[in-house]
Structure 1
Amino acid sequence: MKKTILAALAAAALLTSCGNAPAAATAGETAEPGVVESSDIAYVQVEAVLAQCDLYLNEGAALQEKTEKAQRSWAQKEKNIQAEAAQLEEKYRKGLITTLDAQAQQKKIEQKAQNYQANAQKEAQSLDEENYVFTNRAQDLVQRAVREINADGRYKLIINANALIDADSTLNITPAVLETVNRLYAADKKNQEK
């Protein structure tokens, strides 16, 4: 489930082209128009940011555990209903109950299954909504962090490291993004508490 949440977050998070503002040239440098230099490009390991950020550690792990617990509960309830139906069938096959009793018990089992399915569906929708909100919050934090880091427009292109085949590690801005995400998360949390 952790991989599912992280994959969803990473997929939604970042393939950002940053600004049209030209990078500031230092004295003596002349950049040709349309030429992209290595300092104009950066990459972020979005999955690493998402897995290590305070948002995931504080809230995402709890949401993941809640989802896994619900899935285990659903599986157990299904198993119990199936076992009850099998026991009823066995009793009827052996002639231990009448057809009328078997039909009445079968209706009860079917009603129990319908109630279970309705409750499981409501719970699943609620969990899906919580996961959706969590994913959007994480995506927003990553995008805000990248915009803040690139506020000066020095990067013309910032990409998700998942799209890379090979890149120099000096282009990796993941630690800065992680630090900024955590700072933004702490500020958001503080503002919510007010």
Structure 2
Amino acid sequence: MKKIFFPLLAAALVMTACESKTSEQTAGSTEAQTEANAQIGSGDIAYVQVEAVLAQCDLFLNEGKALQEKTEKAQKSWAQREQSLQAEAAQLQEKYQKGLITSRDAQAQQESIQKRVASYQTNAQKEAQTLDEENYVFTNRAQDLLQRAVQEINADKRYKLIINASALIDADTTLNITPAVLKKVNELYAADKKADKAKN
């Protein structure tokens, strides 16, 4: 039975968070953004604690937790169903070995269990595929928000290098732009939600 695990967004985003992606920048790189960058720290290198951004961003708090709980609930349900069917099959085998049931009845019950196992596996597989897709879409949305946030913060090309903090051994905290990235991710998420509501 295929198991589904909630994707570790940070792992998926380690390499993509700072990937340079050419796209037209909006003409709204404001003075406020420049001032925010100036307060963050000086130099042309910065780092982002990607895991912290993803764990604290509104996207995860509003949607990611629910999806994680849904996935965990499904996994638990599958495990319980498998255990129940295995226990039923073991009880049938034990009854048959003790001579408490005829071979004809044992065969009929075994076929019934096998049909239920096949039905359970089909349903679980469909549910697993749906959850896989939902997790994939969620991961891509988080990745897109993070990418766009970093690009907007660095619209003025102030930083020549922005890296994921998970790759750091040591760095000055003035190079940490995590709070600015988190704020921008939340702003972009709110704007996306507003745009989606306007379409509907």
**TM-score, normalised to structure 2's length?**
0.83
- 3-state DSSP class of the match of 1:159? strand
Cα distance, 1:104–1:2 mapped onto 2, change above 3 Å: closer
The answer to whether structure 1 residue 152 and structure 2 residue 156 are counterparts is yes
Count of matched residue positions in the alignment of Structure 1 and Structure 2: 176
The answer to whether structure 1 residue 162 and structure 2 residue 166 are counterparts is yes
Aligned residue for 2:28? none
Query: What displacement does 1:94 show?
Result: 1.1
- 3-state DSSP class of the match of 2:46? strand
**Unaligned 5+ runs, structure 2:** 23-41
1:134-178, CA deviations, whole angstroms, 9 ceiling, x for partnerless residues?
000000000000000000011111011111111111100000000
The answer to whether structure 1 residue 86 and structure 2 residue 90 are counterparts is yes
1:21-48, CA deviations, whole angstroms, 9 ceiling, x for partnerless residues?
xxxxxxxxxxxxxxxxx71110000000
Cα distance, 1:2–1:150 mapped onto 2, change above 3 Å: farther
Q: Which residue identity lines up with residue 11 of structure 1 in the other structure?
A: V
Aligned residue for 2:128? 124
Question: Is the 1:8–1:135 Cα contact (8 Å) retained in structure 2?
Answer: no
Q: Aligned to 1:45, which of 43, 49, 52?
A: 49
**Unaligned 5+ runs, structure 1:** 20-37
Aligned residue for 2:14? 11
**What is the percent sequence identity of the aligned residues?**
72
Question: Is the 2:5–2:71 Cα contact (8 Å) retained in structure 1?
Answer: no
Query: What displacement does 1:3 show?
Result: 7.7
- Which structure has the larger Rg? 1
1:80-137, CA deviations, whole angstroms, 9 ceiling, x for partnerless residues?
1001101101110111111111111111111111111111111011001000000000
The answer to whether structure 1 residue 65 and structure 2 residue 69 are counterparts is yes
Query: What displacement does 1:18 show?
Result: 8.0
Cα distance, 1:161–1:18 mapped onto 2, change above 3 Å: farther
Aligned residue for 2:37? none
Question: Is the 1:18–1:155 Cα contact (8 Å) retained in structure 2?
Answer: no
Cα distance, 1:40–1:18 mapped onto 2, change above 3 Å: farther
Query: What displacement does 1:9 show?
Result: 4.2
Question: Is the 2:50–2:165 Cα contact (8 Å) retained in structure 1?
Answer: yes
Cα distance, 1:18–1:113 mapped onto 2, change above 3 Å: closer
Question: Is the 1:10–1:47 Cα contact (8 Å) retained in structure 2?
Answer: no
2-side partners of 1:142 and 1:116: how far apart? 38
1-side partners of 2:124 and 2:17: how far apart? 33
Aligned residue for 1:181? 185
